Chain A
Amino acid sequence: MSGTRARVSGPDVNGSSADGAGVSGSDVSGTGVNGTGVKPSVTPGVRFGGVSFVWRPYVVLVTLLLAVATFLVFCLSISIGDFPIGLSRVMATIVGRGEQVDEFVIMDLRMPRAMAGLVVGVALGVSGALTQSIARNPLASPDILGITGGASAVAVCLVTVSGGAAAAVVSSVGLSAAALAGGLGTGLLVYFMAWRRGIDGFRLILIGISVSAVMEAITTWLLVTADVRDVARAQAWLVGSLDNRSWDEVWVALWCSLALLVVVMAVAFQFKPLHLGDDVAAGLGVRYSRVRAVLLLCAVLLAAVAVSAAGPVPFVALVAPQVAMRLARCPTPPLAASGLVGALLLIGADLTARTALPITLPVGVVTAAIGGPFLVYLLVRANLR
């Protein structure tokens, strides 16, 4: 081809260079001999008509098993209580074929709690997976990014400043709304402060930690100066709990989360190249700042919805994506599996808090107690390999 250039043909430096196999678009008459003669194992795909997806049986299997496990724990959580109901009767009632005796206890008394656990767990898990992927850092979770702190500060402010007088207004629904607004406001504040011609993971985390610290200081200050009775109520909320959920609250959280998950699903395809860094993503034709802004907003909203529904349950959003990654053997947090692990962790922790211990604890205490050591175990196991 090039008359001006002398090419030496002979063994390559590392013996691995291959010559001339054409790749789409600009084909050449080359021999196409691969240095080693090995047929590369490219991940297979599945196709239905015009629809095609990458086929990763292991990830699908793990996700299905997680879904089954979550459903079982969900049913178990309903079945166990002061008045035990058999698992089969719980499942029958859920699918609408139960007896009327069980229906009241299951659907009106216990279901809202289990459902809140499911929704909050999934929301936290997915939110954590998104923030960790966007920041390309496993430390980035809604807890670190100030969302939880902001929600807590606003909620505590509402409880303590309004005092007993406005107790009626500060019913649980008012508290949820305040927490939602606080979480969203702080999340956006952190995002815009971290914005400097793009979002940098470290900057996001550092600003998140700073804002969280300020919010915690405000919360502490409010608690110290407030009336003792208000403090007790505020503190009960601050630990995170699934107690006394009403269907109204659960429905709001459920529909908000579902709407957000649909958005996440729609954008998720554009999200994959972001794991390779901004420049590579841009090279692959992704408008990364827009995709990232949409997904980060979804993550903030999901976390805010979760906090408003159950209080600031710690650790789920941090641990669930990491656990899901290791269970599914994925290099990046898998969204569906992260959500399921979140739900499994939260409902399981709530069940443990209610039954296994002599005193009934708020779920937040248990998620931290279970989640922390499990993450450490996974890290240690990975180090030993």
Chain B
Amino acid sequence: MAAQYIIDAGPAVADGAAGAARLAAEDVTVGYGGRTVIDGLDVKIPPGVITTIIGPNGCGKSTLLRTLTRLLKPTAGTVVLDGEDIGRLKTRTVAKKLGLLPQAPVAPDGLTVADLVARGRHPHQSWLRQWSSDDADVVEKALAMTGVADLADRPVDSLSGGQRQRVWISMTLAQGTDLLLLDEPTTYLDLAHAIDVLDLVDDLHESGRTVVMVLHDLNLATRYSDNLVVMRDGAILAQGHPRDVITAELLEEAFGLRARVVDDPVGDRPLIVPIGRTHVRLD
């Protein structure tokens, strides 16, 4: 394990990471059937920032996210949410604290945007109280905040990929949690729509929410997160601010990728330029 890369999240993350982690995995082991994917992993999610999990295909990043959201039950170790073992909490109690957007969710054909976002209120409802005026207010705000208010009456399946993803994020917002976990929110989106969705995620962070997501695109992950968790083979290789974590050596070690890390001409984060085989002039 490359321990030298592990950087304490405290000082590296500037805004408000001093508080205790609201969500943490403690010595978790997770697997499917007999196969162990993650073995004895520890991670703390700093509050109030965007944490992005990156790593090569099959390294266990989605598995980690699913474990943090109690979709997968660890075979050993615990996931702690606000000081309590998430496995011992009622799933409804968890749903009031932690919003979750799985990878590429599908809505039934013909379901309207307003109705889908309204489903986000489910954890706050009961058999007798299925729709209160509070619910309507929150759904209205969630629609407005994600910029899909004018699509409210449209069926979700008639929207473009980017709009659809905004609608799903809107549903997670309607859940009213300040902890959001997004599994590859930019899957199947072109770059412009990916940026659009990540700007929205950044808006959510700016409004005080803690966001954890899995991203494939390293440069987008670098630009949009304050805390990177780099994984390989089910273990954490490095964690910390992108400026401290992203180096050519780390990319080589984690991904087996030869790349040069340069100053981003438009941003204040490092920019990863992969070195492929063709059209390269290395001088």
Contact = CB atoms under 8 A, between A and B. Distances in A.
A279 B153 CA distance: 25
A30 interface: yes
Interface residues of B, number: 85
B71 A45 contact: no
B202 A285 contact: no
Given A51-B129, A287-B91, A42 B153 contact: no
Contacts of A50: 128-129
Contacts of A282: 69-71, 91, 100
Nearest to B148: A16
Contacts, number: 217
Contacts of B130: 45, 52-54, 269
B108 interface: yes
A285 B96 contact: yes
Interface string A51-70: 11111000000000000000
A4 B203 contact: no
B190 to A, nearest CB: 11
B91 A286 contact: yes
Interface string A22-54: 111111101010111011111111010011111
Interface stretch (B52-60, B175-183, B228-236, B245-253): B175-183
Interface in A116-172: 136
B226 A279 contact: no
A138 B253 CA distance: 48
Given A17-B200, A286-B122, A40 B206 contact: no
A284 B196 contact: no
Interface of A is mostly: loop
A20 interface: yes
Contact of B143 (A30, A42, A280): A42
Contacts of B278: none
A284 B123 contact: yes
A52 B203 contact: no
A1 B206 contact: yes
A266 B131 CA distance: 17
Given A4-B15, A54-B130, A273 B122 contact: yes
B142 A47 contact: no
A18 B199 contact: no
A45 to B, nearest CB: 4
Given A36-B149, A53-B131, A279-B71, A5 B268 contact: yes
Contact of B99 (A14, A54, A283): A283
Given A51-B128, A53-B130, A283-B101, A40 B196 contact: no
Given A20-B207, A285-B94, A40 B114 contact: yes
A272 interface: yes
Contacts of B166: 16
A28 B91 CA distance: 27
B141 A22 contact: yes
A277 interface: yes
Interface string B174-211: 11111000000000000011011001101100111100
A12 interface: yes
A332 interface: yes
B95 A284 contact: yes
Contacts of A280: 100-102, 105
A156 to B, nearest CB: 38
A2 interface: yes
B139 to A, nearest CB: 5
A19 interface: yes
A285 B95 contact: yes
B102 A279 contact: yes
A72 interface: no
9 contacts: A4-B268, A18-B203, A34-B145, A38-B150, A41-B152, A42-B143, A52-B130, A276-B106, A282-B100
Interface of A: 1-7, 12-14, 16-28, 30, 32, 34-36, 38-45, 47, 50-55, 136, 266, 269, 272-273, 275-277, 279-280, 282-287, 329-332
Given A42-B143, A332-B108, 19 more contacts: A4-B14, A14-B162, A14-B192, A17-B147, A17-B203, A23-B145, A23-B173, A24-B176, A25-B177, A34-B147, A40-B152, A42-B152, A50-B129, A275-B107, A276-B105, A277-B102, A283-B101, A286-B122, A331-B109
The 8 closest A-B pairs by CB, nearest first: A285-B95, A283-B100, A279-B102, A45-B131, A24-B176, A26-B178, A331-B110, A285-B92
